[in-house]
Chain A
Amino acid sequence: DAKTTQPNSMESNEEEPVHLPCNHSTISGTDYIHWYRQLPSQGPEYVIHGLTSNVNNRMASLAIAEDRKSSTLILHRATLRDAAVYYCILRDRFRSSARQLTFGSGTQLTVLP
């Protein structure tokens, strides 16, 4: 299975954009890129996912490199509530393992007031 690499931690100022990177150089053509985040004392929550094209929703944007070997989760305006561990996860639609999430260590985002 393809693996992801994320920085251990990042800091951002409140009300500024945040770009969270994820490297997945061995990604396959059928791997979807998913992002989940885990707020303190809570379970993970879904953020966004995509295959090739950039994706937007009310929480964030996902920018996927043209070669798909990296992606970036963009929080357009960070708030204190966005402080969490962010996980970048690959799910291959043609593998049985697609029905489970394989979490790495994620990126701990600290938002400074």
Chain B
Amino acid sequence: DAGVTQSPTHLIKTRGQQVTLRCSPKSGHDTVSWYQQALGQGPQFIFQYYEEEERQRGNFPDRFSGHQFPNYSSELNVNALLLGDSALYLCASSHRLLDATNEKLFFGSGTQLSVL
């Protein structure tokens, strides 16, 4: 089992550019969530995708958008990059349960984005 895989592992962009990050969920998982982790802080929830639709969204601007494909993989897009977008972007997958509190999230190792 490959677990959650993310690509690329590192990325350098300049202000104003656009970036796309990719995530393949753990086998058997149908839900993908994205988190942003600034240096020295805990991860912050961006949004969650299930059945190819955005189901929940955290406090992030519309510059952050995503997509989920029929094979459950997902992309995170960030437009008009700002210096403050520099962070580790984590993808987490889970198998959606009726009782969300019993869902276990499995995280990838993340994509380190640097905006210069």
Binding site for B on A (CB under 8 A): 32, 34, 36, 41-46, 49, 85, 87, 91-93, 96-106
- Give the distance in Å from the alpha carbon of A97 to the alpha carbon of B100 in the complex: 9
Beyond A100-B45, A103-B42, whether A42 also contacts B101 by CB under 8 A is no
Say whether B58 contacts A100, CB under 8 Å: yes
Say whether B92 contacts A93, CB under 8 Å: no
Q: What bracket does the count of chain B residues touching chain A fall in?
A: 20 to 34
Q: Which of B56, B99, B101, B103 contacts A96 (CB 8 A)?
A: B56
- Give the distance in Å from the alpha carbon of A104 to the alpha carbon of B45 in the complex: 12
Say whether A99 contacts B100, CB under 8 Å: yes
Chain B residues in 8 Å Cβ range of A98? 100-101
Say whether B43 contacts A101, CB under 8 Å: yes
Say whether A43 contacts B108, CB under 8 Å: yes
Chain B residues in 8 Å Cβ range of A46? 104-106
A44 to chain B, nearest CB (A): 5
Say whether B41 contacts A105, CB under 8 Å: yes
Chain B residues in 8 Å Cβ range of A97? 56
Say whether B45 contacts A32, CB under 8 Å: no
Say whether B42 contacts A41, CB under 8 Å: no
Chain B residues in 8 Å Cβ range of A41? 109
B65 within 8 A of A: no
Say whether B42 contacts A43, CB under 8 Å: no
- Give the distance in Å from the alpha carbon of A96 to the alpha carbon of B55 in the complex: 10
